[in-house]
Amino acid sequence: MSALDPSSYTATQEALARCRRYRKEHGLYGIVDSALGRIMLEIGAVGAVTMPADLGARVRDRLLVRQHCGPVIAHPRSGRWTFLTGPNDNSYLDAALFADMFRDCAAVALPGSHIVLPSPADEHNGYRRWIRPPEGDFRPELTEVVATTRECRGVPSDHSPQ
Query: pTM above 0.95?
Result: no
Where residue 27 falls among pLDDT bands split at 50, 70, 90?
A: very high
Q: Model confidence over 49-80: pLDDT tens digits?
A: 999 999 999 999 999 998 779 999 999 999 99
Lowest mean pLDDT across 2-11, 21-30, 51-60, 135-144: 2-11
Cross-strand partners of 82: 50, 73
In contact, 71 and 84? CB cutoff 8 Å: yes
Residues constituting the chain: 162
Cα–Cα distance list, 78 to 48, 114, 121, 126 (Å): 17, 17, 17, 11
Number of H helices, E strands in the chain: 5, 8
